[in-house]
């Protein structure tokens, strides 16, 4: 018992040893620190001075080239050495995942460093979304900073070429702030100046002294220009006592402890800042604390005057307590000069005192973007056809001068897409459903491509459409009658040069001739199925619940099928109902008969290794059978039509169940254990029961389907080899596409093994127990494995378990489960258990959960924990 416990501890220790030093390092929660142009293989790194964790910008932007400043320019801060530049196109955007309604400090750094050898300082504009932030004149190294509230969960920072020089960027940083600190009635805050008073070696003070990583610059405290009356001499005042700086602005401790007063007590303390434009509106944030121990006959009292108007009169700083005072209504700067003066009152015996200050220009960003559903549809279309069009970055319609090419907009508020011209863009695959989400589209040109499949019926329901050009494609089948009807009513519909498309009444005859054999074969299939059902019913005599023997599955044991494309069209009723969009293609609902439902996946891309090999691969998959694997029922290979026909499961996927998306009661702990055990058995079968063994390569909650009896089945196995993996990163934007499930060893070896499946399965286990997202940038640790490690070390197990389980579980089974999950996500594949071991452990979890319930186990779960003898032989994970 002890030894075993020790082993488990060792496992946990091993997994989290790597995490421990991260936990001890400063908390950079929510920070995004991009070293732009950094080669991904050098990412991430910890910048030694600030301890900030910088990563490459590779996952945040698709365009641009990597550059490096020339050596003589090498900067003390390493993050400025690499850069990304954009010689082509006009506008390029970084897309960052943020939280709507949160105030962010955004900082973009630019160090030209003659990276291109041209010695020409670039000049270009930067935008926050669709709004101009500022013009960068890169003749000096610089950081630009703005505080901006995220209007949605995605934030774009765009660089725009305005002259002949190529835009570039060195760093991009994002820091979430407290919303009660720099709040404005409207507008974003562009930093003009942020200074503190202290005799200091370091010119710039930032993270980790400043928890928000604001950059504080040293004010010129020792100005000794005797003739300069604008800058009365100041002197530093400081204290060794602690100054309470806990107000929303969270001033760094070292800054709170020092401040400045005029050397001549009768002089005011003044700050003057120059505006770029007379329309600039300044806000001053002034941070005060009394640092001296005042005698009873001493007072410090002064008026705070901004642009000649008194903001506070007879103000006294609070003793050893930071107070921040700012003008709520921004001030215009007459003659471009804006100033604040602190003037001692007559009563005061001591001169004014100031600890630190910040000056911002309030920029009004008329938040305006194209209609979000239109944008989402365009992005789906872009991803589905892998369109690589230079201008397709940022907002499609705004600003008007950088509208996407091939798109026309109606500039209403918000702007809408009214025309899309994708002719001659080498599009292939089917006409995807996303087009129908462009609900105000008037003109759609998809001509001169290689589009295949049928003409979708939904085109007829798009009320705004006036022109559809589908000529010169490889479309097939019959044009939907509803669409032809609309043509009669004035829709311009062009479909010439689609040799296999039939537009006239002859279709009906052709169609019948297709349908008859399908019908016949379905009748045949139904008969076979019926016979098999009888056979099974007699054989099993109801000893097992329906859970394991849907009639259809029985039929496929003997009946592998190759379907023709017209049959597939008939089965899916012309691809009428989309039920999902899995990897590699869209999934349609289909029926082989009234009772036999199937899921038909129309592959949107060609397999990488050629049809013959792919066919062999699929033939192999047809032989794979296990109750916990979604069976392949048949397939269709015809020229450019590839479809896979799967057994149909009715009850969504695990992700939907865990996220509560499907409604209904939360999955009980027992349900979850059953599902985990099911999938573990499916995987075990792939790894050890199949000849040749198979690696799934894409285990994740969306690939785990649930049937009406809550039996879980893995789908999509065996295909990843035939198609490039990671194709989903194109579908979703940036960080969301980070695999999360991918074996970390894959990065070094580029090689997936059974243990990679174990890793992914471990992530699934963590999701099952926590219902947390795999990656969530707003958590203490973004990745679920790190987060669980962090929580185990800092907060304890009860904070990991999905709260909606409400304690209704056996805690020893929970512990065992977590230990198992943690072992599975061991960064080293050697440390991960085999699937057989995992299955056994999960069964033990089930046993203890069931015994808690007094052993009144239902038959259903029973089938899951009948010991599977053949794998019970001492497979033990090695903690190394």
Contact footprint for ligand NAG (CB under 6 A): 22, 44, 46, 53, 55, 199, 235-236, 238, 244, 246, 258, 295, 297-298, 321, 349, 373, 377, 380, 410, 412, 418, 423-424, 426, 433-434, 437, 445, 447-448, 469, 471-472, 494
Q: CA 735, CA 729: separation in Å to the nearest integer?
A: 9
Quote the tokens at residue 642.
Answer: 């590839």
The total of other beta-carbon atoms located within 10 Å of residue 224's CB is: 9
597-600's contacts with Cβ under 8 Å and 24+ in sequence apart are: 597/552, 597/648, 597/650, 598/571, 598/633, 598/645, 598/646, 598/647, 598/648, 599/645, 599/646, 599/647, 599/648, 599/649, 600/568, 600/571, 600/572, 600/643, 600/644, 600/645, 600/646
Q: To 10 degrees, what angle do helices 754-770 and 811-824 make?
A: 140
Q: Compute the least distance from the CB of residue 55 to ligand NAG, in Å.
A: 5
Q: Between residues 445 and 678, which has the closer beta carbon with respect to ligand NAG?
A: 445
Three-class HEC string of 631-699:
CEEEEEEECCEEEEEEECCCCCEHHHHHHCCCCCCCCCHHHHHHHHHHHHHHHHHHHHHCCCCCCCCCC
Q: CA 174, CA 28: separation in Å to the nearest integer?
A: 11
Quote the tokens at residue 219.
Answer: 């004010």
Q: Between residues 175 and 837, which has the closer beta carbon with respect to ligand NAG?
A: 175
Q: Between residues 434 and 813, which has the closer beta carbon with respect to ligand NAG?
A: 434
Q: Is 539 known as a binding-site position? A: no
- Helix (H) or strand (E) run with residue 191 in it: strand 188-196
Q: CA 755, CA 877: separation in Å to the nearest integer?
A: 11
Q: Compute the least distance from the CB of residue 41 to ligand NAG, in Å.
A: 14
Q: Compute the least distance from the CB of residue 28 to ligand NAG, in Å.
A: 7
Q: Please state whether the peptide bond connecting residue 414 to the residue before it is cis, i.e. omega within 30 degrees of 0.
A: yes
Q: Which residues contact 398 (CB under 8 A, 6 or more apart)?
A: 130, 368, 369, 370, 415
Q: CA 483, CA 494: separation in Å to the nearest integer?
A: 11
Q: Between residues 533 and 579, which has the closer beta carbon with respect to ligand NAG?
A: 579
Alpha-helix residue ranges (DSSP H) falling in 541-664 = 551-558, 565-571, 611-622, 654-659
Q: Between residues 407 and 525, which has the closer beta carbon with respect to ligand NAG?
A: 407
Q: Tell me the β-bridge partners of 161.
A: 124
Residue 515 C-alpha from the chain's centroid? 45
**Closest by CA position to 432, among listed 449, 415, 407, 418:** 449
- Helix (H) or strand (E) run with residue 255 in it: helix 253-256
**Closest by CA position to 183, among listed 104, 98, 99, 288:** 104
Q: Between residues 70 and 426, which has the closer beta carbon with respect to ligand NAG?
A: 426
The secondary structure of residue 350, as a DSSP letter, is: B
- Judge whether 552 and 647 are in contact, CB under 8 Å: yes
Which residue is associated with the tokens 């003066």?
Answer: 341
- Judge whether 851 and 859 are in contact, CB under 8 Å: no
Q: Between residues 78 and 423, which has the closer beta carbon with respect to ligand NAG?
A: 423
Q: Between residues 51 and 510, which has the closer beta carbon with respect to ligand NAG?
A: 51
Q: CA 52, CA 237: separation in Å to the nearest integer?
A: 31
Q: Compute the least distance from the CB of residue 374 to ligand NAG, in Å.
A: 10
Residue 323 C-alpha from the chain's centroid? 38
Catalytic residue among 374, 698, 716, 743: 698
Largest CA distance in the chain: 108
Tell me the three state secondary structure of residue 47.
coil
Q: Which residues contact 46 (CB under 8 A, 6 or more apart)?
A: 25, 52, 53, 54
Q: CA 807, CA 798: separation in Å to the nearest integer?
A: 9
E-assigned strands of 118-187?
Answer: 123-128, 131-137, 142-149, 154-161, 168-169, 171-176
Active site residue 808: no
CA dihedral in degrees (509, 515, 519, 521; nearest 10)?
120
Q: CA 33, CA 171: separation in Å to the nearest integer?
A: 7
Q: Between residues 447 and 773, which has the closer beta carbon with respect to ligand NAG?
A: 447
Q: Between residues 46 and 557, which has the closer beta carbon with respect to ligand NAG?
A: 46
Q: Compute the least distance from the CB of residue 726 to ligand NAG, in Å.
A: 17
Q: Are strands 323-326 and 281-288 parallel, antiparallel or unpaired?
A: antiparallel
Minimal CB distance residue for ligand NAG: 447
Residues in the chain: 880
Which residue is associated with the tokens 């190529």?
Answer: 166
Q: Between residues 90 and 471, which has the closer beta carbon with respect to ligand NAG?
A: 471
Q: Between residues 130 and 258, which has the closer beta carbon with respect to ligand NAG?
A: 258
Q: Please state whether the peptide bond connecting residue 208 to the residue before it is cis, i.e. omega within 30 degrees of 0.
A: yes
Tell me the three state secondary structure of residue 288.
strand
Q: Compute the least distance from the CB of residue 578 to ligand NAG, in Å.
A: 8
Q: Which residues contact 795 (CB under 8 A, 6 or more apart)?
A: none
Quote the tokens at residue 328.
Answer: 């709520």
Q: Residues annotated in the binding site for ATP, as ranges? A: 601
Binding residues: 601
Catalytic residues: 698
């Amino acid at each position: 018992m002890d030894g075993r416990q020790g082993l488990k501890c060792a496992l946990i220790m091993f997994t989290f040893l790597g995490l421990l030093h991260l936990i001890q390092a400063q908390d950079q929660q929510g920070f995004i620190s991009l070293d732009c142009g950094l080669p991904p293989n050098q990412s991430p790194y910890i910048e030694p001075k600030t301890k900030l964790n910088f990563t490459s910008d590779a996952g945040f932007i698709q365009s641009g080239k990597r550059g490096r400043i020339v050596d003589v320019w090498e900067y003390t801060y390493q993050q400025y050495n690499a850069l990304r530049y954009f010689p082509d196109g006009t506008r390029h955007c970084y897309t960052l995942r943020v939280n709507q309604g949160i105030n962010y400090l955004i900082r973009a750094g630019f160090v030209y460093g003659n990276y291109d050898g041209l010695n020409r300082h670039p000049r270009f504009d930067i935008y926050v979304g669709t709004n101009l932030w500022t013009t960068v004149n890169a003749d000096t190294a610089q950081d630009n900073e703005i505080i901006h509230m995220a209007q949605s969960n995605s934030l774009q920072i765009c660089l725009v070429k305005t002259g002949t020089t190529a835009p570039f960027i060195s760093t991009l940083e994002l820091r979430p702030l407290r919303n009660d600190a720099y709040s404005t009635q409207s507008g974003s805050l562009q930093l003009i100046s942020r200074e503190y008073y202290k005799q200091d070696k370091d010119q710039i003070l930032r993270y980790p002294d400043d928890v928000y990583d604001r950059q504080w610059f040293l004010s010129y405290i020792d100005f000794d220009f005797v003739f300069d009356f604008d800058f009365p001499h100041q002197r530093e005042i400081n204290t060794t006592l602690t100054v309470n700086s806990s107000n929303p602005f969270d001033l760094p401790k070292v800054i709170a402890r020092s401040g400045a007063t005029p050397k001549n007590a009768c002089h005011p303390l003044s700050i003057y800042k120059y505006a770029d434009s007379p329309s600039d509106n300044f806000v001053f944030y002034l941070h005060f604390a009394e640092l001296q121990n005042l005698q009873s006959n001493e007072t410090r009292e002064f008026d705070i005057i901004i642009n000649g108007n008194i903001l506070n009169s007879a103000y006294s700083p609070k003793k050893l307590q930071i107070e921040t005072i700012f003008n709520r209504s921004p001030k215009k700067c007459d003659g471009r000069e804006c100033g604040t003066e602190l003037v001692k009152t007559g009563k005061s015996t001591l001169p004014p005192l100031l600890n630190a200050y910040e000056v911002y220009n309030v920029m009004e960003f008329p938040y305006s973007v194209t209609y979000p559903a239109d944008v989402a549809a365009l992005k789906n279309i872009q991803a589905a056809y892998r369109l690589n069009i230079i201008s397709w970055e940022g907002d499609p319609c705004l600003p008007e001068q950088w509208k996407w090419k091939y798109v026309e907009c109606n500039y209403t508020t918000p702007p809408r897409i009214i025309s899309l011209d994708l002719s001659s863009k080498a599009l292939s695959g089917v006409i995807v459903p996303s087009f129908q989400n462009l609900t105000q589209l008037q003109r759609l040109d998809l001509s001169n491509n290689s589009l295949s499949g049928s003409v979708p019926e939904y085109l007829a329901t798009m009320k705004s459409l006036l022109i559809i050009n589908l000529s010169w494609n490889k479309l097939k089948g019959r044009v939907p009658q509803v669409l032809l009807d609309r043509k009669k009513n004035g829709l311009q519909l062009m479909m010439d040069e689609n040799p296999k498309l039939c537009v006239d009444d002859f279709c009906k005859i052709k169609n019948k001739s297709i349908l008859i054999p399908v019908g016949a074969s379905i009748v045949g299939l139904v008969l076979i199925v019926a016979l098999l059902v009888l056979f099974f019913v007699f054989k099993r005599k109801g000893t097992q619940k329906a859970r394991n023997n849907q009639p259809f599955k029985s039929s496929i044991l003997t009946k592998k099928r190759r379907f023709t494309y017209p049959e597939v069209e008939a089965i899916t009723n012309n691809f009428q109902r989309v039920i999902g969009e899995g990897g590699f293609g869209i999934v349609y609902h289909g029926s082989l008969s009234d009772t036999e439902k199937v899921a038909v996946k129309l592959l949107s891309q060609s397999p990488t290794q050629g049809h013959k090999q792919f066919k062999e691969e699929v033939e192999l998959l047809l032989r794979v059978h296990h109750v916990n694997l979604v069976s392949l029922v048949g397939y269709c290979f015809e020229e450019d039509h590839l479809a896979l026909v799967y057994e149909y499961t009715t009850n969504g996927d695990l992700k939907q169940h865990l996220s509560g998306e499907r409604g209904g009661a939360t999955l009980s702990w027992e349900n979850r254990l059953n599902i985990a055990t099911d999938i573990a058995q499916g995987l075990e079968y792939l790894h050890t029961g199949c000849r040749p063994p198979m690696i799934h390569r894409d285990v994740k909650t969306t690939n785990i389907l649930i049937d009406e009896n809550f039996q879980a089945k893995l789908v999509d196995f065996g295909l990843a080899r035939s198609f490039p993996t990671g194709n989903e990163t194109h579908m979703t934007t940036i960080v969301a596409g980070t695999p999360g499930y991918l074996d970390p060893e894959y990065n070094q070896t580029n090689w997936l093994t059974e243990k990679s499946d174990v890793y992914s399965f471990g992530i699934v286990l963590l999701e099952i127990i926590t219902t947390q997202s795999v990656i969530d940038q707003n958590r203490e640790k973004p990745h679920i494995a790190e987060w669980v490690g962090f929580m185990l070390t800092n907060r304890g197990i009860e904070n990991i378990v999905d709260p909606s389980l409400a304690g209704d579980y056996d805690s020893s089974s929970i512990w065992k489960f977590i230990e198992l999950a943690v072992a599975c996500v061991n960064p080293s594949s050697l440390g991960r258990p085999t699937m057989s071991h995992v299955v056994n452990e999960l069964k033990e979890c089930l046993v203890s959960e069931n015994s808690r319930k007094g052993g009144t186990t239902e038959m259903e779960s029973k089938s899951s924990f009948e010991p599977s003898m053949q794998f019970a032989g001492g497979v033990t994970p090695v903690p190394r």
